[in-house]
Amino acid sequence: MPHPAEKDNPIAMVDRIAAIINCVAEQSSAISMSEVARRTGLPKSTTSRIVHSLLPHGLLEIVDDELVLGLRFFELGELASRPRTLRRLTYAHMEGLRRVTGNSVHLAVLDGRHVVYIEILRSRATPALPSRVGGRVPAHATAVGKALLAFSPPEVTERIIEGGLEAIGPRTITDPDRLRAALWRIRASGIATEQEESGRDSACVAAPILVGESHEPIAAISVSGVAAEMDIAGCERAVRSAVDALREQAALLPRRGRTM
């Protein structure tokens, strides 16, 4: 669930369509129409009608009498400008970080209470990471997320804290005041770290890419690896120099979009 559907939407139809698409998307494999109807709470006849309206646009497809996301999403995903330009402009620096540190490098943006991974460069030294391009993880439980939250407007962070801090790793920060303190220190140092907060044995060093006079955090870059094997200080220096270099391209970097 990306956005908590804030207010009452003037067009209920859009919410129904989104519910169906999200339902199909959440399912890793295919899903039957009745199952979609059951999970969304929509009547079967309504579900059937909407699904058949989405098919000719390529937004959904039927494979073996079951629903999957359509090819059109693949196309539109490649056209989405923000992730694409972000990828393009940061790629060289990410590749450099991987080479220098020998660890995996992540690029993520903040979206509601989650971070979404835009690009991941994997290293042999840090295999089997659960992260996935396009994947979504609670922001407070990752270094990139904390880096972004630390420089976001306070009300954004508070809203997330109020929503509850779910533990996803052995040492995820779940106490509001501990998180506030951590964010404060990150805001002072410009660097966020994480150890076993997002998963067992994980460690991560991240920094936000800040642009403009308002220091808007448009994305964050991290270096992550196995906790015991990482040179934290070295990674900090490397990440810091990468985001500093990126600030010089600030004019080209895509701003965060409003979604409300």
| Residue (67 or 238) nearer to a second copy, CB | 67
- Choose from a second copy, DNA, none: what does 43 bind? Cβ within 5-8 Å by kind: DNA
CB distance 222 to 206 below 8 Å: yes
CB distance 89 to 246 below 8 Å: yes
- Choose from a second copy, DNA, none: what does 201 bind? Cβ within 5-8 Å by kind: none
Which residues from 25-84 bind a second copy, rule CB under 8 A? 25, 28-30, 49-50, 52-64, 68-83
Q: What is the smallest separation between the CB atom of 155 and DNA, expressed in angstroms?
A: 20
Q: What is the smallest separation between the CB atom of 28 and a second copy, expressed in angstroms?
A: 8
The single-letter code of the amino acid at 257 is G
Q: What is the smallest separation between the CB atom of 231 and DNA, expressed in angstroms?
A: 49
CB distance 156 to 149 below 8 Å: yes
| Residue (63 or 188) nearer to a second copy, CB | 63
Q: How far apart are the first and last CA of the chain?
A: 16
Q: What is the smallest separation between the CB atom of 29 and DNA, expressed in angstroms?
A: 14
- Choose from DNA, a second copy, none: what does 32 bind? Cβ within 5-8 Å by kind: DNA
d(CA 196, CA 24): 32
| Residue (63 or 128) nearer to DNA, CB | 63
Question: What one-character-per-residue DSSP string does 87-126 give?
Answer: HHHHHHHHHHHHHHH-SEEEEEEEETTEEEEEEEE--TTS
Q: What is the smallest separation between the CB atom of 186 and a second copy, expressed in angstroms?
A: 23
Size of the site for a second copy (CB under 8 A): 65
Give the binding site for DNA (CB under 7 A). 10-14, 16, 32-35, 42-46, 48-52, 65-66
* Residue 128 binds a second copy, judged by CB under 8 A: no
DSSP character for 31?
Answer: B
Q: What is the smallest separation between the CB atom of 187 and DNA, expressed in angstroms?
A: 31
Nearest CA among 217, 209, 215 for reference residue 246: 209
191: helix, strand or coil: coil
Q: What is the smallest separation between the CB atom of 37 and DNA, expressed in angstroms?
A: 7
- Choose from a second copy, DNA, none: what does 39 bind? Cβ within 5-8 Å by kind: none
d(CA 21, CA 8): 19
Q: How many alpha carbons fall within 13 Å on the CB side of residue 173?
A: 20
**What H or E segment, with its residue span, contains residue 210?**
strand 202-211
The single-letter code of the amino acid at 184 is W
Q: Where on the chain is the footprint of a second copy (CB under 8 A)?
A: 2-3, 5-7, 9-11, 13-15, 17-18, 21, 25, 28-30, 49-50, 52-64, 68-83, 109, 111, 116, 118, 132-136, 254-260
